Homo-oligomer: A and B are copies of this chain.
Amino acid sequence: MSFTEIVKIEDIKLKDAILLEGLPGVGNVGKLAAMHLIEELKAKKCTEIYSSHFPPQVLIDDDGVVKLVNNELYYHKGKGKNKDLLFLVGEYQGMDSSGQYELCNQLISLVKEMGVSSIFTLGGYGLGKLVPEPRVLGAATSQDVVELFKSADVEFIDGEPGAGIVGASGLLLGLGKLQGIEGGCLMGETSGYMVDPKSASVVLKSLQKLLGIEIDLEELEKRAKQVDSITNQLKESESEVEEKVDVNYIG
């Protein structure tokens, strides 16, 4: 007996909207990108999703007030010819396979009712090594979306990612396709070792082109530089250590 409760804070109807998923994952790339966009567009929260597929846990805010872990939807009505956007963010993905399927199926039904007609999922593609110039890799539910993504400098590389896409970013596309919703996944290359704002930033650059909107990336790029600077310091101290070791060996 699983438990899911959908709390509608505001009852929203969108038109031909795009769902942008940014749940936690590799390098938190998708989450960083979606949260940045929510802030820049001043998107508003309309829905909270509580579920027994999340951990049995409350978080505590700075005032000491608890909040049950959840997923949330934020919306932004597009101006002019720009499309309406709906954002899916949260602290966790469903914790087991069956929970992932159930939550994704419920979410797809919910967002279809709200007027979503396509799904873009945002994520990281972990390479296990530092990535100075991350690319954005893509996957999509149809050849049409593949072509659309290519026009936004998204790269498609034979057999990558080899293991496919695991979790909500994959499942929302796979289950969405079964329910007649097209979409695709944007994966920023990342080491996977740490939260990666640079990778989130390149994902957003592709997304700008796809959505025809301007996004101020300054904040993300500042954070990316901080991470780069820490990484470089670590690398330097590592190579100093290596040098000393070499000297010792030679000596």
A interface residues with partner B (beta carbon < 8 Å): 1-3, 5, 7, 50, 52-60, 62-69, 94-95, 97-98, 100-102, 104-105, 138-143, 146, 149, 156, 158-161, 163-168, 170-171, 173-175, 177-178, 185
Given contacts A164-B57, A171-B58, contact A101 B52 (CB under 8 A): yes
Q: How far is the CA of A104 from the CA of B59 in the complex (A)?
A: 17
B-chain residues with CB within 8 Å of residue A160 when the two chains form the complex: 60
Given contacts A64-B139, A141-B66, A177-B66, contact A97 B98 (CB under 8 A): no
Give 13 new A-B contacts, CB below 8 A, not counting A57-B167, A66-B141: A2-B98, A52-B101, A56-B101, A56-B167, A58-B164, A58-B170, A60-B160, A62-B158, A62-B159, A64-B149, A66-B170, A69-B164, A69-B174
The reply to whether A65 and B139 form a contact with Cβ atoms under 8 Å apart is yes
Q: How far is the CA of A143 from the CA of B64 in the complex (A)?
A: 8
Identical chains bound together, number: 4
The reply to whether B143 and A63 form a contact with Cβ atoms under 8 Å apart is yes
| A7, A63, A97, A166: most-surrounded residue (chain B CB, <10 A) | A97
Chain A contact residues: helix, strand, loop or mixed = mixed
Q: How far is the CA of A163 from the CA of B167 in the complex (A)?
A: 23
Given contacts A102-B1, A177-B68, contact A170 B56 (CB under 8 A): yes
